[in-house]
Structure 1
């Protein structure tokens, strides 16, 4: 059995000891040993927890508290003798459950994310030969080859390395690739050991040979995946709120049912069995059967609207959770920034140039006609651009179908390629004139790269690298195209420029050259680091960064106005993190920067205190991101966490809302997240939060709308009871169902599509103590809208009876007259609903200001509910089922007048409310 070493131990121990512990050699394993080892340690794959079966996921949609309440309501209806009613309620529950499952299944596409990140085949050394095998079959002790463009299949220690640079952003979040070499240097932050490469990362440049030290779940990749899978999904605030609402409605319905039972038994002196059936009918009447499908359809509508704003929500309930978000823990690279290194400044001894999208602007000087220089026009800039273009192994492929160009190489060199393109430099043409005859590759010790070019009888040695290493090899400096001896003052100027860029979070790169006469090929072959990279002529610096997204500034401002705190949590350096945070207005210069190392020393109390202030986290590890999110949640915050790498997945899973990048994000992050941004744009998160707030506001609007019809449904029964049966029941159970499942739904859906009221993002997130069913909604639903509708529907009942000759003729409980009276009661409730649908569209704003016809869905719903009333009234088969009959012309005239005073009265109330608020 092979003893697995931690990456840190594997990096520091002598190579001979490591190979001995792994029972291998630098020539790899034999096929027999590898096969035996594979049986012992298993395949090089990530074992995910067993996924919940689709059947259980499907059944979940039928077992919420509201769904259970509807199942019980159906049983109650059947027990009360209304079999059709019970079947209809169950049908609504089934349709709603199927729709919810279909919507979530469509949004959450199952992908095997971890395997998608690992390469399919690897070149491995076995039995003294190089073979291509499936990466699944790699085992500890295997020796394999790597080259630029390869994904790393397992954690491994380097045996050989030539100019190797590895993109570890999926693990660290850092934009700049790590240089790797055979010799060990610890580096800064986790995963920075120079001689270790990690599964799930990618080789950007160079070639290497490495020995596997860990596979599958033993890799760092696997450990993060394991941490992610251990997190259970949080119950969304909306689910908790709907459960609470269901309990409240159930209690209200049971109390009302009990009151009606007692009244019917002891006041009306109904037989107990009939009183019980009557009470069951009232319970059914007070349960809003249409609420659950309306909520589901409204959330689905929110999902569709968010998708148009580049946010794909995988779980319907997550839509509303976004509206409650109080803190966003945001990754930097690819989320706040463009994840594309860009040269911002060029410094040469004669001046500094700012690089724009069009060319170069000479700082402090007025360009010709006030326009940027599109072509380089000074000797020093010409020389720097030549070095940047020719001392470069990266290719940038522009693809019109992609927003970002494809980079074949390192991001740093890609930034130089794009810089040269802006300068109008034709690299291919220059290479024909002065082809490369030799290269001294970059390595992490000397931190420089050199290329040698021949032009006629001259050799040009072009060098780029870290200023700290390159400047020491320079004896001259070029000023206005003329070389002279470099002085102490020159070096001070160069260091001052470099320090200024570092303070801004920019990464600088130095350029130098040297020209010597060409003698012969032997001379070229003899050029090595020692004799080529000396007596150089310093040319200048480039300063580059991963720039902020253009739209990030407005998005951050919007979050601050909405009192949503943004905390940057990144694997990048402190300087870069704080510079970007200040640049985009995320924090001030007083913000505290806590590194991963410092975070490990903080106890829970100290971390909570720090989180209450302006704060940035830099150089953090995956488990630390998770810790930050957990601590914020323990402080009562609703946390949205963003990210794109494997390292972000645990925090994404833990957060109330995990937000993954859809373009640059790893599939691991996408699986762990609740929402995926299809444009990787932080501004889309803010748009989604705004939509989430609108969804919650609209939920309250149609909750108010649905509940207001409960009063006019109950009052007719109360009239029947308190008159001791002298007033026949003005509304039958089937007619009540017509309101709850028929005329309620479409206008309610229209309210779910209502646009945001002004100022929705100038308000703080809603408090956790605030609930969907608030006292304000109860008061408006029952004591205002409901009371008005109850009075009008009762008047309509007596109006119909008046037309039939009452009071000279007693009220009848059967016949055409009675059917017309109950039809009139139902119709009056429906026309009150028309007014309520319009009134519920705004909280304070006048309906005439937002546009009385601006919400087309509501008007479609209004037309449909009137048509439904007419179908039930004029279709003979349905007339008998719903106890309805055709209405007379004067009846329709009475009904059409109903909405006008109701809307005007509500407009008056809103006007008073606005006036009070202003004063």
Structure 2
């Protein structure tokens, strides 16, 4: 029996006789009995998917986070403390939040088996010398099968015979340029560089071939990458870790306060132990912000919606904030930084150089010399080159329904079609005037493609290919419309030009022609036709950077986010593009996949700290690069579109797949999908992520500050030993926590980015949501002010009705008015807090007092809710409220004004101090 895991290198380099011996097969294929036996031994040619989380597990995880558990416990405590309304309300909030979180994430994720979809359903195999169509799952090592243009390749295979075969390996390598393959062994650069090997999951762009399978299923390169991806477990996001930390902090604060009040009640007020315990439990519940979790969830959901408008689809809510922490982006080149549209930008002739304007697969552009548009009729050499470019060509450019260019053929030929159209050549008319008689397709040995045409009654061969092959076959050159011998000096100039463009990361293609003699059998003599060529010139092309990439890279640098290019392209091209878009400086280190193989993890961790580019990388290389950055304490976003990118996407803190060109495997492994494949959309998403985190802190500040005025009434009641009646009932506390606070808090979650958010470095992993400065501001600044005002409001009502501080109303209508006034004062303090919390340092007047409609609506709704509580009889009875008079309303309406003005003054001094500090540093 054959080896289960024959080495790809051995398979590629073996002679055909040795190959059949290794695989125990023949050109006649396998016998049916042998194929059946191998299917039993090797298993189905299928990708085994890891067991996915059930919908029930996905649903239940939303109810077992630390914050959710805290709310379950809080509800139980409230029930135990004799506050059933509060307990049930807290549990309902938890249930509603869990259902909402599940629905948001369920709607964002695909439930399709995309790995299996990438493999074809049927393939043509040769069994017992006869062609037979079988399910691709039944293909086994040693099977000889046939492929043609448009087929997906079902297994790793060695080519036996091939005709003009070109393979699209972008799913494995990430590079869009098709690769020429044939039966002759030729090892080129890169892991997938064997010329006579094709891989599962790639597609046939052109030609036909007979091949023999040597790896199937999970033993293929496709399967190995998938297995690597499935073995990884996604770690908790920074936000999930932060919320867990925040939950612990809030729990500690609430419990400490509860313990303090318990002992104070026992030893200071001399309450009974049981009554003191119930009182302490009530204080613990009061200090737990029940509205925090749903507010965080809804804020993240709002971030997801805003990101979708910026071409970024987020699959999990917590991924939104992770983007804001990103300190390194490991990015592909092709299609992300560049347009993935090969474009000719220079034309070189011996005595002339031309620039080509316009980028991508659009004929909007022109051919220029010295920045002036030229008439090709005045340049016969140029016209001849463009005719060759147009006719030695099998590509077409079509327009899709959404007005985008669709290429039929190879990107290189598409670029030649476009440059001919830019020059004003009518290609269809030209093809009729110079009909094609025959062609010799490109192959990797000759590195030439030749087409033969009838031109004015004569047969002319048009040739394009690698300069090394064309120049070798050329004996003459066209200069200013005349043909003369090609001299050694001419050759030096041509080679120098080609080298010059190569150092710029540009790709050159040589074009030539040959007027044929008239023997009847001339069309069959390929060597004669492709000899004694007349060299015309070079077309110079590149995949141009996206127009918006320059600003996006600068914005990353301003935000102190490093961008590391990780590409399957050559080192020269990678460095050229990186320099052009401003990603790196001239001293950048370029590390190839082969060099990376020799580096240990410590060396790689050191390398990724520097300005670096990785070129000619394999899938496991990109995975290692991401892990090395994470080992250095970085939060890593990684982009990708192919099967090869899936392990890195899964490992990264935020995996970003391309929505247009990306494979389903990459999309499944990613946390976010770009609907426009645009790097600039990542930068916009990073800004949104930073804004979401900032907004979470804003409404955390907003929610926590109300805990102080909620707790102070109980403190007054306790330490006055009951002389001051409770200014706030339990249901009124619940009204603030789960009613009036909620909508303005959600409005803060929709706050736009503050000016300069992308001028700051990524958030340090040492910083946390619940910072000391936030606690100080919540409790000692906003909270203390609100507590003083609400307490004063309580005393104010007593005073208006003739009660003194030493003799406050304990029951009756005055007492109910006083507690209603306390509640209303807290609400109006929260109105000021909602306005003040919209910015950290920037003046609210600068961004527009009414610019956040969600906050304004929330304020209006909480006022309406307060009015309903005061004036609707049923609610009055439930929440122990009543109507208040005009004087009290005047008092309430005035409250927000001084609070906003005082906070504006504080922010002004903070900005002034920050500005002085910056001037001092300079």
Interval of TM-score (by shorter of Structure 1 and Structure 2): over 0.9
Q: How does 1:742-821 map to 2 (within 5 A)?
A: 742-807=739-804, 810-821=807-818
Query: Once structures 1 and 2 are overlaid, which stretch shifts more, 241-250 or 111-120?
Result: 111-120
CA deviation profile, 1:828-879 (whole Å, cap 9, x unmatched):
0000000000011111121112111111100110011111111122222222
Contact persistence 1:645–1:666 (CA under 8 A): yes
* Corresponding residue number in structure 1 for 2:68: 67
Contact persistence 2:67–2:244 (CA under 8 A): yes
Shift of 1:398: 2.2
* Corresponding residue number in structure 2 for 1:734: 731
Contact persistence 2:376–2:382 (CA under 8 A): no
- Indicate how the Cα distance of structure 1 residues 376 and 626 shifts in structure 2: closer, same or farther if over 3 A, else same: farther
Query: Once structures 1 and 2 are overlaid, which stretch shifts more, 290-299 or 197-206?
Result: 197-206
- Indicate how the Cα distance of structure 1 residues 771 and 366 shifts in structure 2: closer, same or farther if over 3 A, else same: closer
Shift of 1:493: 1.3
Q: How does 1:867-906 map to 2 (within 5 A)?
A: 867-906=864-903
CA deviation profile, 1:129-174 (whole Å, cap 9, x unmatched):
3233332222222222112222211111101111212121221123
Shift of 1:479: 1.0
* Corresponding residue number in structure 2 for 1:135: 136
Specify which of 611, 634, 638 is matched with residue 631 of structure 2.
Answer: 634
Shift of 1:402: 5.1
* Corresponding residue number in structure 2 for 1:523: 522
Shift of 1:43: 2.0
Contact persistence 1:352–1:362 (CA under 8 A): no
- Indicate how the Cα distance of structure 1 residues 264 and 376 shifts in structure 2: closer, same or farther if over 3 A, else same: farther
- Indicate how the Cα distance of structure 1 residues 795 and 213 shifts in structure 2: closer, same or farther if over 3 A, else same: same
CA deviation profile, 1:258-307 (whole Å, cap 9, x unmatched):
11111112211222111111111111100000000000000110111111
1:865 has 2:893 as partner: no
* Corresponding residue number in structure 2 for 1:475: 475
- In structure 2, C-alpha distance between the alignment counterparts of 1:182 and 1:361, rounded to whole Å: 40
1:330 has 2:328 as partner: no
- In structure 2, C-alpha distance between the alignment counterparts of 1:366 and 1:420, rounded to whole Å: 18
Shift of 1:455: 3.2
- In structure 2, C-alpha distance between the alignment counterparts of 1:589 and 1:340, rounded to whole Å: 26
Contact persistence 2:798–2:809 (CA under 8 A): no
Contact persistence 1:360–1:374 (CA under 8 A): no
* Corresponding residue number in structure 2 for 1:499: 499
Number of residue-to-residue matches in the alignment: 910
* Corresponding residue number in structure 2 for 1:447: 447
CA deviation profile, 1:233-273 (whole Å, cap 9, x unmatched):
02111111111110010001001111111111221122211
CA deviation profile, 1:343-366 (whole Å, cap 9, x unmatched):
111111231111112444444x35
Shift of 1:181: 1.1
1:673 has 2:678 as partner: no
* Corresponding residue number in structure 2 for 1:834: 831
Poorly superposed stretches of 4+, deviation over 6 Å: none
* Corresponding residue number in structure 1 for 2:613: 616
- In structure 2, C-alpha distance between the alignment counterparts of 1:207 and 1:409, rounded to whole Å: 15
Query: Once structures 1 and 2 are overlaid, which stretch shifts more, 311-320 or 808-817?
Result: 808-817
Contact persistence 1:389–1:416 (CA under 8 A): yes
* Corresponding residue number in structure 1 for 2:299: 298
CA deviation profile, 1:41-99 (whole Å, cap 9, x unmatched):
22221101100111011100011100000000000010011111111000000000000
* Corresponding residue number in structure 1 for 2:182: 181
- In structure 2, C-alpha distance between the alignment counterparts of 1:505 and 1:523, rounded to whole Å: 39
- Indicate how the Cα distance of structure 1 residues 532 and 185 shifts in structure 2: closer, same or farther if over 3 A, else same: same
CA deviation profile, 1:693-712 (whole Å, cap 9, x unmatched):
11111111111100110110
Shift of 1:715: 0.4
* Corresponding residue number in structure 1 for 2:79: 78
- In structure 2, C-alpha distance between the alignment counterparts of 1:560 and 1:94, rounded to whole Å: 43
- In structure 1, C-alpha distance between the alignment counterparts of 2:375 and 2:706, rounded to whole Å: 69
* Corresponding residue number in structure 1 for 2:920: none
* Corresponding residue number in structure 2 for 1:125: 126
* Corresponding residue number in structure 1 for 2:424: 424
- In structure 2, C-alpha distance between the alignment counterparts of 1:362 and 1:555, rounded to whole Å: 29
Give the secondary structure class of the aligned counterpart of 2:516. Answer: strand
* Corresponding residue number in structure 2 for 1:698: 695
Give the secondary structure class of the aligned counterpart of 2:206. Answer: strand
- Indicate how the Cα distance of structure 1 residues 366 and 319 shifts in structure 2: closer, same or farther if over 3 A, else same: closer
Give the secondary structure class of the aligned counterpart of 2:157. Answer: strand
* Corresponding residue number in structure 2 for 1:105: 106
Contact persistence 2:695–2:749 (CA under 8 A): yes
- In structure 2, C-alpha distance between the alignment counterparts of 1:301 and 1:857, rounded to whole Å: 11
Specify which of 839, 847, 852 is matched with residue 849 of structure 2.
Answer: 852
Contact persistence 2:321–2:693 (CA under 8 A): yes
User: Which residues of structure 2 form unaligned runs of 5+?
Assistant: 359-363, 917-922
TM-score by length of 1: 0.97
- Indicate how the Cα distance of structure 1 residues 13 and 516 shifts in structure 2: closer, same or farther if over 3 A, else same: closer
* Corresponding residue number in structure 2 for 1:463: 463
Give the secondary structure class of the aligned counterpart of 1:505. Answer: coil
- In structure 2, C-alpha distance between the alignment counterparts of 1:376 and 1:768, rounded to whole Å: 65
Contact persistence 2:522–2:529 (CA under 8 A): no
Specify which of 540, 551, 556 is matched with residue 554 of structure 1.
Answer: 551
- In structure 1, C-alpha distance between the alignment counterparts of 2:561 and 2:827, rounded to whole Å: 41
* Corresponding residue number in structure 1 for 2:51: 50
- Indicate how the Cα distance of structure 1 residues 757 and 184 shifts in structure 2: closer, same or farther if over 3 A, else same: same
* Corresponding residue number in structure 1 for 2:201: 200
1:533 has 2:534 as partner: no
- In structure 2, C-alpha distance between the alignment counterparts of 1:31 and 1:813, rounded to whole Å: 96
Give the secondary structure class of the aligned counterpart of 2:346. Answer: strand
Give the secondary structure class of the aligned counterpart of 2:345. Answer: strand
- In structure 2, C-alpha distance between the alignment counterparts of 1:574 and 1:397, rounded to whole Å: 32
Shift of 1:808: 9.2
Query: Once structures 1 and 2 are overlaid, which stretch shifts more, 800-809 or 568-577?
Result: 800-809
- In structure 2, C-alpha distance between the alignment counterparts of 1:744 and 1:578, rounded to whole Å: 53
CA deviation profile, 1:601-621 (whole Å, cap 9, x unmatched):
122332222222211111111
Shift of 1:574: 0.6
Shift of 1:30: 3.5
* Corresponding residue number in structure 2 for 1:825: 822
- Indicate how the Cα distance of structure 1 residues 185 and 545 shifts in structure 2: closer, same or farther if over 3 A, else same: same
- In structure 1, C-alpha distance between the alignment counterparts of 2:378 and 2:398, rounded to whole Å: 27
CA deviation profile, 1:770-791 (whole Å, cap 9, x unmatched):
1110010011000000010000
Contact persistence 1:454–1:518 (CA under 8 A): no
CA deviation profile, 1:716-740 (whole Å, cap 9, x unmatched):
0000001000111111111111111
Output the aligned Cα RMSD: 1.5
- Indicate how the Cα distance of structure 1 residues 360 and 499 shifts in structure 2: closer, same or farther if over 3 A, else same: farther
* Corresponding residue number in structure 1 for 2:598: 601
- In structure 1, C-alpha distance between the alignment counterparts of 2:477 and 2:303, rounded to whole Å: 62
CA deviation profile, 1:289-337 (whole Å, cap 9, x unmatched):
0000000000110111111011111111111111111111111111111
1:433 has 2:433 as partner: yes
CA deviation profile, 1:780-838 (whole Å, cap 9, x unmatched):
00000001000000001111112232029932332222111111101100000000000
User: Which residues of structure 1 form unaligned runs of 5+?
Assistant: none
Contact persistence 2:605–2:631 (CA under 8 A): no
Give the secondary structure class of the aligned counterpart of 1:61. Answer: helix
- In structure 2, C-alpha distance between the alignment counterparts of 1:52 and 1:381, rounded to whole Å: 62
- Indicate how the Cα distance of structure 1 residues 231 and 402 shifts in structure 2: closer, same or farther if over 3 A, else same: farther
Give the secondary structure class of the aligned counterpart of 2:257. Answer: helix
- Indicate how the Cα distance of structure 1 residues 463 and 809 shifts in structure 2: closer, same or farther if over 3 A, else same: closer
Shift of 1:377: 4.5
* Corresponding residue number in structure 2 for 1:262: 263
- In structure 2, C-alpha distance between the alignment counterparts of 1:474 and 1:856, rounded to whole Å: 72
- In structure 2, C-alpha distance between the alignment counterparts of 1:122 and 1:426, rounded to whole Å: 40
Contact persistence 1:313–1:674 (CA under 8 A): yes
Contact persistence 2:516–2:529 (CA under 8 A): no
Contact persistence 1:457–1:519 (CA under 8 A): no
- In structure 2, C-alpha distance between the alignment counterparts of 1:379 and 1:432, rounded to whole Å: 21
TM-score by length of 2: 0.97
Contact persistence 1:175–1:546 (CA under 8 A): no
- In structure 1, C-alpha distance between the alignment counterparts of 2:439 and 2:849, rounded to whole Å: 73
